[in-house]
Amino acid sequence: MLDDFMWRAALAGLGVGLAAAPLGCFVVWRRIAYFGDATAHAAILGVALALLWNISIFAGVVSIALLMAISVSLLSGKGYAMDTLLGVMAHSALAIGLVAVSFVAGVRIDLHAYLFGDILAVGKTDLVIIWSGAILVIGLMLWRWQALLTATLNEELAHASHINPRREQLVLTIALAIVVAVALKVVGALLIAALLIIPAATARPFSRTPEQMAVIAAVIAMAATTGGLRAAYTFDTPTGPTIVSLAAAFFVISTLASQGWQRFAS
């Protein structure tokens, strides 16, 4: 089965969707969508450094993502607004990464694949990395779920419950870095944030509990990745953008359906 590139691509999409959706719920609840976008942009610098130092691209991307998150945490509250810091660091990391790539001698680099994804080129080793990362992220989410919810709801309540909000923020940061690293091959650095945010936003109107929202978001994300893959194959369109476009279509349908239901109920 794994000798068929379409099956490999589908399994990769399912793994990324399963990992990104629950994490995306916290991104939506905490209103840190720009943080996810900044981390994804920094992934290109991680790719460049990994190639320059001849190390694993996964390790390079995770390291840079964590470094950015820690830097933002240390610099926040020192005269700069969070969105300003994220904007400066995200675009700087992307630009420096693109420049650094040009200094990699003897290696042909398909920047389009890193920016927009190349799910059809996923190999068996990539599948192992993607699903290992997905299982790790899901494990982190399950382990810290209640603590993450409490810290997201109210920091004072978290302190009263003997929960350290900064520690839970670190857990989210680590999970986000892992998701960015495993999703880079599927949707690319410029579209990772969309796969985090859109399924969670789509699930929100139909969810009564946080757990329900996470499950619905995961289903939507997996449907978008597999459906987008099939549509891209059928219509010969770029796979990463097609996946995100289908997720966006789900969001539009969800919004119209929820508004229609609210009008009917009133």
What is the pLDDT, as a whole number, of residue 224? 95
Residue 171 falls inside a structural domain? yes
pLDDT tens digits along 155-180 = 888 989 899 988 888 888 889 888 98
More confident: 25 or 103: 25
Looking at every residue in the chain, the average pLDDT score rounds to 86
Identify the band that residue 79 occupies on the pLDDT scale cut at 50, 70 and 90.
low
**DSSP, residue by residue, 235-264:** HT--HHHHHHHHHHHHHHHHHHHHHHHHHH
CA angle in degrees (0–180, nearest 5) for 204-212-261: 45
Taking the C-alpha atoms of residue 253 and residue 47, their distance in angstroms, rounded to an integer, is 36
State the DSSP string of 178-216. Answer: HHHHHHHHHH-TTTHHHHHHHHHHHHGGG-SSHHHHHHH
The residue segments making up the domain with residue 152 are 5-190
The structural domain count of the chain equals 1
Q: Is residue 41 part of a domain?
A: yes
Give the count of beta carbons closer than 10 Å to the beta carbon of residue 257.
Answer: 12
Structural domain includes residue 124: yes
Task: Indicate the burial class of 102 (C-beta count within 10 angstroms; 0-12, 13-18, 19 or more).
Answer: exposed
Torsion of CA 95, 97, 99, 102, to 10 degrees: -150
Task: Indicate the pLDDT class of residue 266, thresholds 50, 70 and 90.
Answer: low
Q: What is the pLDDT of residues 21-39, one digit of tens each?
A: 989 999 999 888 777 788 8
Q: Is residue 71 part of a domain?
A: yes
180: CATH: 1.10.3470.10
For 8-60, the three-class secondary structure string (H helix, E strand, C coil) is HHHHHHHHHHHHHHHHHHHHHHHCCHHHHHHHHHHHHHHHHHHHHHCCCHHHH
Q: What is the pTM of this model?
A: 0.88
Of the two residues 102 and 264, the one the predictor is more confident about is 102
Query: Does some domain include residue 247?
Result: no
Give the model confidence (pLDDT) of 225-237 as tens digits: 999 999 998 999 9
The pLDDT, as a whole number, for residue 120 is 85
User: What DSSP string describes 50-89?
Assistant: HHHHT--HHHHHHHHHHHHHHHHHHHTTSSS-HHHHHHHH
pLDDT of 61 strictly over 80: yes
Note whether residue 34 is domain-resident: yes
pLDDT for res 109: 67
Grade residue 265 by pLDDT with cuts at 50, 70 and 90: low
Cα–Cα nearest to 189, from 78, 93, 68: 93
In this structure, is residue 140 part of a structural domain?
Answer: yes
263 found inside a domain:
no
Confidence of residue 144 (pLDDT cuts 50, 70, 90): very high
- Please tell me the predicted confidence (pLDDT) of residue 49: 86
The predicted structure's pLDDT at residue 18: 92
